[in-house]
Amino acid sequence: AQSVTQPDIHITVSEGASLELRCNYSYGATPYLFWYVQSPGQGLQLLLKYFSGDTLVQGIKGFEAEFKRSQSSFNLRKPSVHWSDAAEYFCAVPEGYSSASKIIFGSGTRLSIRP
């Protein structure tokens, strides 16, 4: 069965520092992969998605992620974080390829920003 693992529960970085959030997936074929962000008390916003093609995906708010099949990873990166990036980040994979597919979420990584 498909699954997503986010090994870091909580990460704190200084404002202006670089960021990498880890995500590992388990999937029988080439997966679709997503990163969502959830600000406190808010819903989920899609940061970026990987369907196929270029393994380096650009997203909104200056985020990018790289799909590495050999490592079963889809880590999220940002070269310089801003205080407004403090939020919960979820890596996710749809169960299948159709529009009927439910999304399987990782447990999330909470990002705190040190002034």
Single-letter residue type at 65:
A
Select from 35, 59, 76, 108 the one that contacts another protein (CB under 8 A): 108
Choosing from 18, 30, 42, 58, the residue that interacts with another protein (CB under 8 A) is 42
Three-class secondary structure of residue 70 per DSSP: helix
> Is 76:35 a contact under the CB 8 Å cutoff?
yes
- Rounded Cα distance between 97 and 51, Å, is 10
The alpha carbon of residue 46 and the mean position of all alpha carbons in its chain are separated, in whole angstroms, by 9
Q: How many residues bind another protein (CB under 8 A)?
A: 25
45 binds another protein (CB under 8 A): yes
User: Least distance in Å: CB of 93 to another protein?
Assistant: 11
Q: Which residues bind another protein (CB under 8 A)?
A: 32, 36, 41-46, 49, 51, 90, 94, 96-108
